[in-house]
Structure 1
Amino acid sequence: YSCVIRSSQNCPDGIRSRIKESEFGPQFLEHIPVLQWAQHVTQEQHQRLKRYPGAHALVDTLTVLNSSANWKMLDDWESRKNKLECSHCAVVGNGGILKGSKKGKEIDGHDYVFRTNGAVIKGFEEDVGSRTTHYTFSTNTLMNSMRSYGGIGYSGPPETRYVFLPDHDRDYLLMKAASTHTFVVKGPERGKDPTRYFGKDVSAAKLKMYHPDFIRYLRNRFLRSKILNSQFRSIYRPSTGAAMLLAALHTCDQVSAYGFMTPDYSKYSDHYYDKSYRQVGFYANHDMRMEMTVWQKLHKAGLITLYMRN
């Protein structure tokens, strides 16, 4: 069941038909599951995964993700494709390069639009578009975004499909609460009402969760950082935006990336919605410069189209 997460098999010029011939060929594994769902709740999987953060919450929570919408990233592609064989995805980061870009209409013209973290849309539609079909986050980044960007109009994720990045027990617990319309039972979000974040009509069909194997595969094969040889090894992980962009690379046929870091990043503020210039910050848990290099290589290889100013 891990190979059915791909979108159309019939796109002649899709990423998967080209990636094998590219410099990324040796890194790419075709059958790695991008998402986890009820079918992964086996004793054997649990034994294997319980070494990883949050995985001991896995059995109790994943059983609610039991429909095809939970294991397919592009779950409505069959009904949507309308003679088009290739799925086009826009993956939108929050980088300052988007400010004044006027890319909104182009972004909204894609079949699917992926966003992450503090994706402030109101007032920025001309540059970043207004549609969202997939929103990637971890519970930690969602809470931080609501705290940090509440003042500029970010009150939570747009009404859409929610793709959890399992970083911690918190992610499994919030996901379970959201799917069952109950309060979070324990942890930092204990007693919180998930409809506050995901709206009153959130249902299990709108929820997805990245597979820990997929995140580890990204870290080891696509984003293998020198940080893994340092004392920060245990906290290093792909950024939320990187996980989202590489998930699109593994599920869409064509990918355009906007608002990701480019070599001239110091010209732009950290985020497109910053009121005044803020320098991009670098932290030990991510390797943003290395991620930037990977985006350049993917763009050069023709596997993604990366928005750059020059």
Structure 2
Amino acid sequence: MKKALGFISLFLTSCLLLYVVLWINFPEQWNGIKRKVVGSKFLWRETNEHTDDPAPINKSIITSALNLSLPGVTNLYDAENLSVEREDNTTPIPILYKTNFTKLPVWDFEDVYLQDHDARKPICSKSIYNTKDPKFKEAFLPNIQLWLYRGQLNLSEWNRLAHFNNPFGFMEYKYDEIRTAVDLIPKPKSSILLPVLESAKDGCIRCAVVGSGGILNNSKMGKEIDSHDYVFRMNGALTKGFEEDVGNKTSVYVHTAFSVYATILGLHQFGYDSVPQDEGIKYVMIPEGLRDFHWLRGLLEGKMATGDFKGVRPLSFFKGHFNESRFYVLHPDFLRYIRNRFMPSKQMQGNYWAMYRPTNGAFALFLALHTCDIVDAYGFITEDHHKYSNYYFEKFKKTNVIFYINHDYNLEIKTWKELHDTGIIRLYQGQKNT
């Protein structure tokens, strides 16, 4: 009996070794997932920031073939089909780790995104959607899926998104942990964030996106900002006491869990003790990392959060004004699309590739570009940022902008200026050159 068991054990070990050898030496086209660089034709900005040598895939990472049905589609596929579970025999792929890659890994499906058939169809003749700029027009996807919500994250979809680092996907995370949080996110009654106002005879939606830059100090832009149909703000959206320069109206508040938590603590001295609470306000969350999904569970279950926010009750930051029907979570596809097509940084080609992402302000501005027809930006970083304090609420103590490694501020300076010069947005650049 012992001899038989020994023979079986030896046989199974040999089979396992043979399998590993075959896997490592298989031609790449049979490994299920291949790699390629995103074609430069999709980039809005002319750039040399991509190389022809993406991060090498470690063959010890075994990935399964994706179960995607993409007949005749190059960069979009239907979000509606995700409501039907396509589990079959699909299982979560082995977890991919950032440390396995020396630079951003770029997959064959890197530039494939969910589409939304119910996306807004503008009737405004002046709409950004009708731009004549050829580069922006080619990169712009008007039907990109904006929102993440329950019913979207089946196993096939997980196996696609698990190849991208957060906030662009779910690399390093566990399926059950993320899906538990996603299944709590309500599906919006309408995928259209902001309706055309009845008073808008031309059918145009006019939006202001307000950052926190010191360029707004003594700008007297408050009245102009509030004259827009809708006003986007993010992070520490402090208005009390600064209305003359920044206005006091907030229609859309864009945030991460950390930005809500940190700004309320940091700006408490200014009387900022909760997120904006304007009537009918829309809250839009950027799922920045695992801690955001822990925060989401606490927020949507009305309980204390876990993980990094253990002991914190997210609902308390809304002072009783939270409403699920006005709460949205940005989809990783939208965030990756913004990074890939509009804001690719040289930082993605280095050791710190996984740290880079556009700022919350950048995501808020591009959300406005996919939501509104006419967009004006205030308080965003400009070439002469050194002339101003870091924040508009620093009236008596000036601090300078710190160029943290997780953002590419020089790229954002160039991007906002180019969007302005091509007429996509109107960028406030100070009193002398508005």
What TM-score comes out, normalization by structure 1 length?
0.91
1:159-308 aligned at under 5 Å gives the runs 159=277, 160-184=281-305, 186-274=306-394, 275-308=396-429
Matched, 1:50 2:171: no
Q: Secondary structure at the match of 2:311?
A: coil
Report the equivalent of 1:14.
127
- Unpaired segments of 5 or more residues in structure 1? none
Q: In structure 2, do the counterparts of structure 1 residues 113 and 119 end up closer, same or farther at CA, with 3 Å as the change threshold? A: same
Q: In structure 2, do the counterparts of structure 1 residues 197 and 101 end up closer, same or farther at CA, with 3 Å as the change threshold? A: same
Q: In structure 2, do the counterparts of structure 1 residues 136 and 271 end up closer, same or farther at CA, with 3 Å as the change threshold? A: same
More deviation in 104-113 or 42-51?
A: 42-51
Alpha-carbon contact 1:91-1:115 (below 8 Å) kept: yes
Alpha-carbon contact 2:283-2:328 (below 8 Å) kept: yes
Matched, 1:89 2:207: yes
Report the equivalent of 1:28.
140
Match of 1:40 among 124, 148, 152: 152
CA deviations 1:134-182 (Å, max 9, x no partner) are 1111112222212322222222311132211111122123223323322
More deviation in 30-39 or 215-224?
A: 30-39
Cα offset for 1:108? 0.9
- Unpaired segments of 5 or more residues in structure 2? 1-78, 80-114
Cα offset for 1:41? 2.8
Alpha-carbon contact 2:212-2:392 (below 8 Å) kept: yes
CA deviations 1:225-257 (Å, max 9, x no partner) are 111122221100001101111111122111000
Within 1, Cα distance between the matches of 2:403 and 2:179?
Answer: 35
Report the equivalent of 2:219.
101
What TM-score comes out, normalization by structure 2 length?
0.66
Q: In structure 2, do the counterparts of structure 1 residues 68 and 141 end up closer, same or farther at CA, with 3 Å as the change threshold? A: closer
Within 1, Cα distance between the matches of 2:378 and 2:275?
Answer: 18
Alpha-carbon contact 1:179-1:202 (below 8 Å) kept: no
Within 2, Cα distance between the matches of 1:81 and 1:44?
Answer: 45
Q: Secondary structure at the match of 1:12?
A: coil
Q: In structure 2, do the counterparts of structure 1 residues 205 and 80 end up closer, same or farther at CA, with 3 Å as the change threshold? A: farther
C-alpha root-mean-square deviation of aligned residues, in Å? 2.1
Cα offset for 1:122? 0.8
Within 2, Cα distance between the matches of 1:229 and 1:12?
Answer: 40
Cα offset for 1:66? 3.1
Cα offset for 1:214? 1.1
Higher relative CO (Cα under 8 Å, sequence separation at least 6) belongs to 1
Within 1, Cα distance between the matches of 2:415 and 2:428?
Answer: 14
Alpha-carbon contact 1:178-1:202 (below 8 Å) kept: no
1:109-148 aligned at under 5 Å gives the runs 109-148=227-266
One-letter amino acid of the structure 1 residue matched with residue 137 of structure 2? G
Q: Identity of paired residues, percent? A: 35
